[in-house]
Structure 1
Amino acid sequence: MYFLFLFAEMLLLFLTVLLVSELGAGLRRHGHHGLLLPPPNVHNYPVPPDQWFTQKLDHSQPGDLRTWQQRYFTNDTFYRPGGPVFLMIGGEGTASPVWMVTGSWIEYAQEHGALCFQLEHRFYGKSHPTEDMSVKNLRYLSSEQALADLATFSAAMAEKHALPEGTKWVAFGGSYPGSLAAWYRLKYPHMVHAAVSSSAPLVAKTNFLW
């Protein structure tokens, strides 16, 4: 009787591990630091190249004319004139172009004929606003500056791509970028029609990463 019970327990454990493994393939993947990792490029579509946008260093000081180059990606494959714009917000990690060809938001883009952008967060990946990350320069690393980056970028892309007036922008983000998506909709409601804010901690914390 004991061996039957033990066998049943082992079988249940095996099935549980198998189920979790299968479900995990469809869930968000995180690295050992808890940062969101890009999904695998299961369709092996070619990813878009790096593009660069001239961004202001300090949005809070109109007289400060210093600029830097912010990296972004574009996917206009599914865009239909009059369609929405989907903006994936980068977070505390390197932006990956794989996000531009896979993931649920790309399925939504296909369905709705959306133009897709991904903007890398300042101070992460290849987006370096300053020469170093000294305490003096890290004052430019804030959610306020990141939100202003998004607004400046959105306005410039609308002009560059000659988007019709009234084009609806939808911001996407998960975890910290999810917070940015919600705050972007809150602070710039005239620029963002909707925000998809996944697993977003919206209450301020002293250390956001823990």
Structure 2
Amino acid sequence: MPLAPPRALRRSRRPGAPLVVGLVGPVAGAVVSGLLLGGLLPAGPGVAAAPSTASATAADRPAHASAEVRRAPRHSLEERIDRLPHVVGVSRRGPRVLDVRFRQPVDHTVRGGPTFVQRVVVTHRGVGRPTVVTTSGYSLPGPAPTEPTRLVDGNQVGFEHRFFGRSRPTDLSPESWRTYLTLEQAAADEHRIIASLRRLYPRPWLSTGVSKGGMTAVYHRRSYPDDVAGTIPYGAPDDVVDTDDAYSDFLDRVGTSAGCRD
């Protein structure tokens, strides 16, 4: 999918709601700095630093954590995540990377209806750090940190978009996917994941994505503006599928000569 030119996305919801901004590359640092100065993200020695094993170890025992959080490590990270709502399985991929499986409704508006298992990958840095949620808009992202994750030296939650990869219902015909593969249903998936994992990671959350992942981040924020402190989409093309091909119409007229168009 072609990337749209980076463009600031103006707030269209109530005053005081979290920030949405479209950007690329180094501009992300300025945005995260603004969040820090505005008090939306916690300042600390780990902010804007590259991840390191030493800082990660210290992060598990932050000085400002409550007694309840400090007592939590009696259980392994897998056990703590496995006890969260809607989690149906956890397996360790690496020292700080876990594959998590969430039970999601096919239709979030129907209680007790069919469900499917959605794949999520959690990269753990510490319960006292911010968390960045990301998706490619398609299959499951890898555990490599995104730029916002590196800038805040935080946790990262990547999820596979509904009905892509292996996050598919097994007893639902593809013909009926048109009914359930919608912006609203996908946003509800992300909201459910964040609401569950926030019990382990209570510090501020950010959302990000590239291209279709950026679109997914924006549409989630539109439906659930209080889920995250800020949204950083690296390109969010708003493509509309209809009978008129706007791209071809534009390319048929752009420029001043047929040779240029060819």
TM-score (structure 1 length as normaliser): 0.63
CA positional deviation for 1:104: 2.4
For 2:220 and 2:242, the matched residues in 1 are separated by 20
The correspondence for 1:179, drawn from 199, 212, 215, is 215
The correspondence for 1:200, drawn from 206, 215, 236, is 236
- Secondary structure of the corresponding residue to residue 136 of structure 1: helix
For 1:168 and 1:204, the matched residues in 2 are separated by 33
- 1:83-102 alignment to 2 at 5 Å? 83-92=129-138, 94-97=139-142, 100-102=143-145
Is residue 189 of structure 2 the alignment partner of residue 141 of structure 1? no
Give yes or no for contact 1:79–1:113 (8 Å, CA) kept in 2: no
CA positional deviation for 1:196: 1.0
For 1:177 and 1:206, the matched residues in 2 are separated by 21
Gaps of 5+ in 1: 1-25, 27-44
The correspondence for 1:57, drawn from 106, 121, 141, is 106
Give the AA of the match of 1:87: V
For 2:195 and 2:242, the matched residues in 1 are separated by 31
The correspondence for 1:126, drawn from 166, 191, 208, is 166
Is residue 115 of structure 2 the alignment partner of residue 67 of structure 1? yes
For 2:150 and 2:108, the matched residues in 1 are separated by 34
For 2:191 and 2:112, the matched residues in 1 are separated by 17
Partner of 2:150: 107
The correspondence for 1:156, drawn from 175, 180, 196, is 196
CA positional deviation for 1:65: 3.3
Give yes or no for contact 2:217–2:231 (8 Å, CA) kept in 1: yes
Gaps of 5+ in 2: 1-24, 26-92, 248-262
For 2:224 and 2:154, the matched residues in 1 are separated by 20
CA positional deviation for 1:72: 0.6
Distance 1:196 1:53, change over 3 A: same
CA positional deviation for 1:155: 0.4
For 2:116 and 2:210, the matched residues in 1 are separated by 26
- 1:163-174 alignment to 2 at 5 Å? 163-164=201-202, 167-174=203-210
Is residue 119 of structure 2 the alignment partner of residue 79 of structure 1? no
Relative contact order higher in (CA < 8 Å, ≥ 6 apart): 2
Give yes or no for contact 1:173–1:196 (8 Å, CA) kept in 2: yes
Which structure 1 residue ranges, 4+ long, deviate > 6 Å from structure 2?
none
